[in-house]
Amino acid sequence: MAAGAGREPRIERALLSVQEKRGLDQLGPGLQALGVELWATSGTRADLVRIGCPVHAVEELTGVDAWFGGRVKTLHPAVFGGILAPRTPEGLRELTERGLRSFDLVVVNFYPFERHLAEAPTATDREEFVDIGGVSLARAAAKNHASVGVVTDPSEYPALLEELRTRDGRLSDASRLRLAIAAFARCSRYDAAIALGLAPAADAPAALPAEVRFRGDPLALRYGENPHQAAAVYDFAGPAPLEEPPLPLTTLKGESLSYTNLLDLEAAIGLVEEFDRPAAAVVKHATPCGVAVAPTIEAALAAAIATDSVARYGCAVAVNRTLGTADLAALHGVFVDLLAVPGLHDGTLAELGRRAKLKVVQAPIVHPSPRRWEARTALGRLLVQAADHRPLEPAKLRHVCGPRLGDAELDALAFGWSVVRHAKSNAIVLAQGSATVGVGSGQPTRVKAVELACEVAGARARGAVLASDAFFPFADGIETAARHGVRAIVQPGGSLRDPEVIAAADRAGMSMYFTGWRVFRH
């Protein structure tokens, strides 16, 4: 017997309730050989019986069959009393008085909610895949880990059996604590997956779906970058171990990606996922400097690249269609650092191979974007908010001055709005049809953003439409746009000086529409 093992409880009775049957054919006989008395819920018991393991049914303890189609099986004092009872003289006396059996080991895993998300399209459907009893068993055993071992991962079975064999059927205090922490972590991840799976997108940050350890409860914030985005802040308890989880992309060419490469990819892919038609986005320093939608990817690339001949140097580019060799003509003479594609036609990668420094990644690019949350850090804390996918419906825009626009012109406003919400504030986008001609972003004043966008556009500003991510606090931005020939503006409205801003647009003969909500990106 190992030193100190005599002071640790021996595993004499185990409760098994597993959805994942992997390893059960080794665990059951292994525990039986150690003299452990086995109890199990109906499905697990049937599997153990099939492999020849004597096992008691939980119903022998509870006196009832499964209720409500299996929703209530283990939720009974006869089960949880045997797990949670303190192994003190008082606790053992109460167990005897109540005629309960104590459990020294609980082996449980949960109904696989995460794996059923794709096949359960609505929150109501997904609710049926939420495990209650299994999670409750794991938490109860983990709470009483001083006396009860708990295993929630089949990969732990071999180590469990080996320790029991070498320690006369006992688990060390350290092992029981480690397994309890693993059980609580599994419960946390499971609850986070459920919260994200059931919640509307705006409420997604109620739980964090990542391997991040944190202290205490998340602090709900008033809202995210914009009032329609929910947000929360988490306090790190320490960095999670780096297990190199696979990124949702494959590097097809070039060196490994950097931190800033990933930020540029996030921005570029997010832009082209806005559109169901062929689209291309040019990004520099994680902000757009050219975006276009066109009948073909080649045309979209050409229009996006043409937006800013200076900013595009060393850019990241994303497209939302499979890229072919003919499409590459649009990139001739342009230094592209990083290219993201959903796929490549035959021969395209070989053609791209002629660009020595180009990095090419294949990533899932879909419309609408599946990303539900985004995060950054501040003051040593993690800030999480829902991703902004709120659609703009041109028919619901509020017309405040100037000629009413036709459908094509309203579509141009909607295109500009889709792009400007990806630019850093203060942000202004000028568009002709479904292509940008000027982007001004990251400016401390809105009029400077207008000036920059108009400078980039040059003569192309005349007749363009303008999208602003937040309201105009003064009329100067409107007057600047008017001098450059901008003919229509879409903006949130809501400034104290809206009457002055509207009057300036009206004097210039410009059409102006209010959305009633902003798309600020700090």
Catalytic residues, which ones? 143, 285
Structure letter (DSSP) for residue 330: G
Which tokens in the block code for residue 37? 């008395």
Structure letter (DSSP) for residue 471: -
- Give the Cβ contact number of residue 518 at 10 Å: 21
Distances (CA, A) of 421 to 15, 428, 446: 53, 9, 15
DSSP 291-309: EEE-SSHHHHHHHHHHT-T
Which tokens in the block code for residue 231? 């947000």
The structure tokens 């109540």 sit at: 98
CA distance 136 to 184: 11
CA 366 vs. chain centroid, Å, equals 15
H/E element, 99: none
CA 447 vs. chain centroid, Å, equals 35
**Under 8 Å between Cβ of 385 and 225:** yes
CA distance 297 to 319: 7
**Residues in Cβ contact with 359 at an 8 Å cutoff, skipping those fewer than 6 apart:** 251, 253, 254, 255, 257, 261, 337, 338, 339
Which tokens in the block code for residue 321? 């269609």
Q: Kindly tell me the burial class for residue 303, based on how many C-beta atoms sit within 10 Å of its own C-beta (0-12, 13-18, 19 or more).
A: buried
24, 67, 22, 17: which is closest to 42 by C-alpha?
17
H/E element, 439: strand 435-440
320, 317, 229, 305: which is closest to 273 by C-alpha?
320
**Under 8 Å between Cβ of 198 and 127:** yes
